[in-house]
């Protein structure tokens, strides 16, 4: 039942139902009764829930506090939530029950188009798709676990088309220019941080390991006798063993004089330094459109000349062979032609 009270010529209506408490002030009692009747009806239909008093920002902060810490991408998620709340305050301050597919569709379009006047650059569809996946999970968690909403606004929102898989490979000449710029040479221990990033670049091409896996590689997980590196923590949360090539084993011998300097870390470089110094080296070497992660594609394409697809998946940790084939295996047509000629001769 709703209650009404007159104060100073204004009527205040209060609705308490199913654990919810709503109130509003009106000039007339008739308006107050109409509003209260409508709200009771909406509560009964489930259109108004506990989430009605919660904003999008509330949900993101709650997710960051309760869910993100269980994931390796916690820092990235925290950055994304902070950026959303800062750049889209009109949506961030909306009640969860007011946000629908149209609202999030406008956010999607704004991210893709950018807003130069407010210092927001346009981003690619891959970035938007990653953000959609994150924000969608915020709403489904708020719906299924916290009971703050009854439906996710992403349910009816059109997703951008998946971008074409990146096919960039790194040429041998580019590797030479980068390692020289970084100060890494085969005949000496890489004592500087820059030189060790050069070593990490070569190691990535030899092993197909991700940047984060290389950063986290420790001596205790390297078995020189059995010639493999054990990765207990990976992007897919599934541990795997990576076979080491003769050059990778030689690099470990090269790193041995530095073994006691980095608290067990093989390369002694964190992700921030890797990113910053690799970007600097690319610019100095006049190399465009190259990401450190492109080494993984280069490595797997080279390894495909030795291993079949199932063996490649074992090395790379891919559980979806389609992704391995479409995104990371990028042979040149001449490589395939060479195979044809080898078979026919």
H/E element holding 231?
A: strand 228-231
How confident is the model at residue 330, as a pLDDT?
Answer: 63
How confident is the model at residue 253, as a pLDDT?
Answer: 93
Q: Dihedrals φ, ψ of 90, to 5°?
A: -65, -35
What dihedral angle (degrees, nearest 10) is formed by the CA atoms of 231, 235, 239, 242? Answer: -50
Identify the residue whose tokens are 């869910």: 67
Strand order in the sheet with 240-243: 222-223, 228-231, 240-243
Question: Structure pTM?
Answer: 0.65
- 10 Å Cβ neighbour count for 282? 19
How confident is the model at residue 242, as a pLDDT?
Answer: 93
Could you tell me the two tokens for 251? 């690099």
Instruction: Give the CA diameter of the chain.
Output: 99
How confident is the model at residue 13, as a pLDDT?
Answer: 87
The CATH code for residues 172-344 is: 1.10.443.10
Instruction: Give helix then strand counts, H and E, for the chain.
Output: 15, 6
How confident is the model at residue 174, as a pLDDT?
Answer: 95
How confident is the model at residue 117, as a pLDDT?
Answer: 80
d(CA 187, CA 182): 15
Beta-bridge partner residues of 320: none
Q: How far from chain centre, in Å, is Cα 303?
A: 26
How confident is the model at residue 68, as a pLDDT?
Answer: 94
Identify the residue whose tokens are 């820059």: 194
Integer angstrom CA distances of residue 5 from 19, 29, 30, 286: 21, 9, 12, 74
Q: Where are the domains of the chain?
A: 2-48, 56-144, 172-344
How confident is the model at residue 71, as a pLDDT?
Answer: 87
d(CA 246, CA 148): 56
Q: Could you say which DSSP state residue 327 is in?
A: I
Per-residue pLDDT of the chain (345 residues; tens, 9 = 90+): 788 988 888 888 888 776 666 777 888 989 988 988 888 887 777 666 655 578 999 999 999 999 999 888 889 999 999 999 999 999 999 888 888 999 999 999 999 998 888 778 888 898 999 999 999 999 999 999 988 888 899 988 999 988 777 788 899 999 999 999 999 998 899 999 999 999 999 999 999 999 999 999 999 999 888 999 999 987 777 889 999 999 999 999 999 999 988 989 999 999 999 999 999 999 999 999 999 999 998 998 888 888 888 888 888 887 777 777 765 666 667 766 776 766 655
d(CA 111, CA 98): 20
How confident is the model at residue 233, as a pLDDT?
Answer: 81
How confident is the model at residue 118, as a pLDDT?
Answer: 76
Buried b (16+ CB within 10 A) or exposed e, 5-31: eeeeeebebbbebeeeebbeebeeeee
Question: Which are the catalytic amino acids?
Answer: 210, 235, 318, 328
How confident is the model at residue 158, as a pLDDT?
Answer: 93
């Amino acid at each position: 039942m709703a209650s009404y009270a007159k104060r100073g010529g204004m009527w205040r209506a209060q609705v308490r139902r199913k654990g919810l408490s709503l109130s509003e002030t009106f000039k007339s009692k008739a308006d107050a009764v109409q509003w209260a009747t409508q709200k009771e009806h909406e509560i009964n239909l489930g259109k108004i829930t506990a989430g009605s008093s919660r904003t999008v920002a509330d949900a993101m902060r709650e997710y960051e506090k309760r869910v993100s810490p269980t994931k390796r991408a916690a820092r990235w998620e925290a950055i994304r939530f902070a950026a959303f709340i800062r750049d889209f305050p009109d949506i961030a301050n909306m009640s969860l029950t007011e946000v629908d597919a149209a609202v999030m569709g406008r956010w999607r379009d704004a991210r893709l188009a950018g807003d130069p006047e407010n210092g927001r650059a346009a981003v690619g569809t891959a970035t938007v798709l990653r953000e959609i996946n994150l924000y969608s999970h915020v709403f489904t968690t708020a719906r299924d676990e916290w009971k703050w909403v009854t439906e996710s606004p992403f349910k009816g929102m059109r997703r951008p088309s998946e971008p074409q898989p990146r096919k960039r490979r790194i040429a041998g000449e580019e590797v030479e220019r980068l390692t020289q710029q970084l100060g890494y040479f085969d005949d000496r221990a890489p004592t500087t941080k820059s030189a060790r990033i050069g070593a990490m670049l070569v190691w990535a091409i030899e092993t197909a390991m991700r940047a984060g896996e290389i950063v986290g590689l420790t001596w205790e997980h390297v078995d020189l006798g059995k010639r493999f590196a054990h990765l207990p923590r990976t992007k897919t949360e599934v541990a795997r063993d990576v076979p080491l090539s003769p050059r990778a084993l030689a690099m470990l011998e090269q790193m041995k004089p530095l073994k006691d300097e980095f608290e067990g870390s093989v390369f002694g470089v964190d992700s921030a330094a890797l990113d910053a110094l690799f970007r600097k080296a690319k610019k100095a070497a006049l190399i465009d459109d190259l990401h450190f992660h492109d080494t993984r594609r280069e490595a797997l394409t080279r390894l495909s000349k030795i291993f079949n697809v199932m063996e490649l998946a074992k090395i790379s940790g891919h559980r979806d062979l389609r992704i391995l084939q479409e995104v990371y295996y990028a042979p040149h047509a001449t490589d395939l032609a060479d195979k044809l000629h080898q078979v026919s001769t």
